[in-house]
């Protein structure tokens, strides 16, 4: 099954995608993670993406579309995949639609107030990318990943100014995709305000 997780920054796409990937053994493909890896390795693509990402702006479509096309051709995507953070524009959606068929588009939604609470206190493992929250999903030992003992850090774009930009960009560029996929009868709307386990159960029910 080919699934897209749609929704504003901080709604919980990465958290749900990780659990879906474990349950169904489909790869979790997150464009944000792929771009951050390129930034860390100082690749040409990463150098181009960095400025946009730090400010909370979208990376140019052609860069992201090429990266995803390449990724989806890998063998582990043959039986299905979970896209997190792609597509984010109508152009990206048209492009992916021209080379692969989607089965479900899960639209996660919560209030802006909750988004700001979630992003402001998010922490990420520098080694394995696991996601934590200082209040809702605390690591057992402060600053250390439960899974791999890597150090936890705050993303640069989780600072207040960048969060506001990301929400504005989401409303302008990405929210129109809800209607786009509604017209294709692929959307399932899921309330993302429960606990991670509750949200995951709702998503599994709705895509089954
Ligand atoms: P990306 O990394 O995709 O960021 P995002 O879409 O802004 O989403 P986030 O990763 O911030 O949030 P999430 O919804 O995954 O929430 P999470 O599960 O972490 O993109 C970053 C940047 O890369 C973009 O700004 C852009 O520059 C660029 N980019 C990426 N894709 C692109 C594309 N296609 N085109 C162009 N540019 C692109 O949860 C958030 C927090 O809440 C965590 O702390 C978590 O522990 C907590 N939490 C989650 N669920 C719950 C819950 N149910 N209850 C309580 N706490 C919860």
Looking at ligand 1, which residue's alpha carbon is closest to its atom 6?
9
CB 12 less than 6 A from any atom of ligand 1: yes
Is 14's C-beta closer than 6 angstroms to any atom of ligand 1? yes
Q: In this structure, which residue's CA is closest to atom 27 in ligand 1? A: 53
- Residues belonging to the chain: 208
pLDDT digits (tens, 9 = 90+) for 15-47: 999 999 999 999 999 999 999 999 999 999 999
Does 40 reside within a domain?
no
pLDDT at 156 over 90: no
pLDDT in tens, 82-140: 999 999 999 999 999 998 999 999 999 999 999 999 999 999 999 999 999 999 999 99
Assigned domain for 119 exists: yes
User: pLDDT tens digits for 180-197?
Assistant: 999 999 999 999 999 999
Q: Do the domain assignments include residue 43?
A: no
Q: Domain limits at 145?
A: 2-27+74-207
Cα 27 to Cα 3, 40, 79, 83, 134: the distances in Å are 11, 21, 10, 9, 27
Residue 41 within a domain: no
Contacts of 184 (CB under 8 A, 6+ apart): none
Whether 62 maps to a domain, the answer reads no
Does residue 146 lie within any of the structural domains? yes
Total tally of structural domains belonging to the chain = 1
Q: Does 36 map to a domain?
A: no
Is residue 155 among the annotated active site residues? yes
Q: Is the CB of 64 under 6 A from ligand 1?
A: yes
Contacts (Cβ under 8 Å, ≥6 apart) of 44: none
| CATH, residue 133 | 3.40.50.300
Residue 47 domain flag = no
Does the annotation mark 36 as catalytic? no
Q: What angle do CA 163, 96, 42 make, to 5 degrees?
A: 55
């Amino acid at each position: 099954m080919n699934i897209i997780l749609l929704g504003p920054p901080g709604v919980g796409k990465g958290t749900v995608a990780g659990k879906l990937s474990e349950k169904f053994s489909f790869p979790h493909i997150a464009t944000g993670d792929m771009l951050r890896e390129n930034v860390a390795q100082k690749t040409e693509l990463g150098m181009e993406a960095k400025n946009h990402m730090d400010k909370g702006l979208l990376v140019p479509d052609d860069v992201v579309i090429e990266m995803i096309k390449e990724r989806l051709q890998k063998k582990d995507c043959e039986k299905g995949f979970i896209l997190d953070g792609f597509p984010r524009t109508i152009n990206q959606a048209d492009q992916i639609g021209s080379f692969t068929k989607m089965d479900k588009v899960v639209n996660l939604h919560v209030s802006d107030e909750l988004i700001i609470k979630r992003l402001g206190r998010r922490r990420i493992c520098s080694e394995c990318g696991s996601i934590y929250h200082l209040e809702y999903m605390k690591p057992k030992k402060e600053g250390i990943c439960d899974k791999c003992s890597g150090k936890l850090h705050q993303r640069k774009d989780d600072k207040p100014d960048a969060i506001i930009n990301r929400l504005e960009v989401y409303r302008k560029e990405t929210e129109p995709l809800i209607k786009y996929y509604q017209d294709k009868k692929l959307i399932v709307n899921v309330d993302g305000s429960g606990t991670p386990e509750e949200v995951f159960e709702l998503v599994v029910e709705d895509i089954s």
